Amino acid sequence: MEYTSLYRRFRPRRFGEIRGQEHVVAALRNAVRDDRVQHAYLLSGPRGTGKTTAARILAKALNCLAPVDGEPCCECEPCLAVDAGTSFDLHELDAASNNKVDDMRDLLGKVALGTPGRTKVYLLDEVHMLTSGAENALLKTLEEPPDHVVFVLATTEPHKVVETIRSRAQHLELNLLSAETLGSLVADVVADAGLDVDDEGMAHAVRSARGSARDALSALDRVVAGGVTTDDTTVANLLTALATADAGAALGALAEGIARGREPRVLGEALLAALREAFLVAMGVPPEQLADADRERARSFAEQVTPPTITGALETLGSALVAMRRAPDPRVDLEVALVRLTSPASSGGADQTVVDALTRRIDKLEKALADAGPPRAATAAPPPQPPVPRAAGPVAAARATLAQAGTSQPPLPSSPPGSTSRESSEASPTESPGAAQPASQVDLPTSDDLVAAWDEDLSGMLSKKVRARFSAARFVAVRDGSAVMALPNEPHRRRCAELVSEVESVLAARFGVPVPVTLTVDDTKVAPGRKASPAEPVASSSTDVTDEVVDPDELVDADESDGSAVEKLTEAFPGASLVDPA
């Protein structure tokens, strides 16, 4: 008699025999019992979790001659035909190989035909492999099939199934089985089949399954055949090398695994899965599918390294697996990734290195702040002052604020000769020899600061009108509690005096303290491209300049041959014509 693999011999025949999928079993069994079967079902889940088995049991229950509480009897002719694969009521189609439009049209052309049983069930496996044209051809019939037809679509990748198909079917999701459920399944199969398998062999089957019932029975078949002597310790050795940051041990473990016949990509995926398990264990949510040995291995690795180290290893190894798809030699990408993970910069001590670097930076900043001394106290905003006459302007308001700050000072002499202030009608206060210097005056910026700030950004903060009038102005000194700004002539100074309040506002915003501005006249010619130094003397219109003495007897008449002024103009501007000679 031909040998039948364990996963085929022990395939569930009733809903109650399906393990670990109680929610799917309840939905299908209740639908059959209450006669509320949908026209289409979409079963999704990982491989080996029971999608095809559930579809076959549904077809058996819908055509069973003596169903009991929604379960097939498994003894009548329709049930036995489904078990034997000879039933005309169940039509299975592999959508991975029959995914063209013509294949789907051929199937749909037979949908309306009758069958011996009550219900015709179409099982489309791997439905996500259908082409776009085949999906569109299936839509209408899937939505409104004949009354005696039920579609069951199975897939491992439901996200690849178009939304129009998912919305036309009732979606049932199957999940991976826990290690406990798989252990019970393997033990029952070993007992029913009379297999000579020890506890270590059964544990290996459960560990190899990773949540899949079919994989567990396939691994059990391999154990029975003697194909497994000892577990492959490559992944465990790789984890140990990563935890100890031993690049040589990591490369040696990889070479040993490849020598055993395992592909580099398979080893990389196994290591990635082990790292994920360790990360979940470190986070306190270990997967239910983990066997005891794998759970202990993950816990041991998570105790040796930190979660950031594990996440960094997951990212590096994942990038290497992506690069291995196009690499001429996949081993190189995996080996480079292992060397990076075991280097000092990526090992478990990397976190402490980062902390040490941050600590040194903080110490350096604290030392710099200590050397700089206590921060300068911000000048408090002056209290509201009574209105100042317009002629006095903001300078008088600022000075009145300083006068009320708590310092009692006698009136100070007016500004020294050589400077003409726009507050010519008001006495300019200065410090008396014995009086304390006001705090705000100490906080005033220096002339160099004013010149630098004016050239860099202050002028750009002014309105267009003010910027145009003060384009020829320049700061020349800080004297008597105010900033002295020079202008080329007296008319220009008078025009700028109308708008000087905006300049004072910009200066106050820039330096954080009120900066009164005194306008003066300076007719000193400055060479183009050269800024006047604050140390240069400031000339003003009030400077005593001796007028030149002219003797009328020494004057000489102009030469008549030189021509008149009109002739001189026409000579200076060639092509000009006299419009009105009168």
What is the DSSP annotation of 265-313?
HHHHHHHHHHHHHHHHHHTT---TT--HHHHHHHHHHHHHS-HHHHHHH
Please work out, in degrees rounded to the nearest 5, the angle formed at the alpha carbon of residue 104 by the alpha carbons of 101 and 106: 110
Q: What is the mean pLDDT of residues 123-131?
A: 91
Q: In this model, does residue 561 exceed pLDDT 70?
A: no
Give the residue from 460, 491, 492, 494 showing the smallest Cα distance to 473: 492
Say if CB 119 and CB 151 are below 8 A apart. no
pLDDT at position 156 is 92
Distances (CA, A) of 148 to 27, 114, 116, 121, 441: 20, 8, 11, 8, 99
Q: Packing angle between helix 307-324 and helix 330-342, nearest 10 degrees?
A: 160
Q: Which fold has domain 6-173?
A: Rossmann fold (3.40.50)
Q: HSE on the CB side for 389, CA within 13 Å?
A: 5
Nearest CA-CA partner of 305 in 361, 357, 349, 344: 349
From the centroid of its chain, how far is CA 261? 40
Angle at 56 between CA 54 and CA 58, to 5 degrees: 70
Sorted by where each begins, the domain ranges of the chain are: 6-173, 179-224, 234-350, 397-402+441-530
pLDDT at 196 over 50: yes
| CATH class entry, domain 234-350 | mainly alpha
**Total Cβ atoms within 10 A of residue 465:** 10
The whole-number pLDDT of residue 468 equals 83
Residue type at 89 in one-letter notation: D
Percentage of the chain surpassing pLDDT 70? 74
Q: What is the pLDDT of residue 496?
A: 87
pLDDT at 231 over 80: no
Task: State the residue for tokens 């049983």.
Answer: 117
pLDDT, tens only, 457-496: 777 788 888 888 888 888 888 888 888 888 888 888 888 8
Q: Which CATH number fits domain 397-402+441-530: 3.40.1360.10, 3.40.190.10, 3.40.50.10680, 3.30.300.180?
A: 3.30.300.180
**How many alpha carbons fall within 13 Å on the CB side of residue 359?**
6
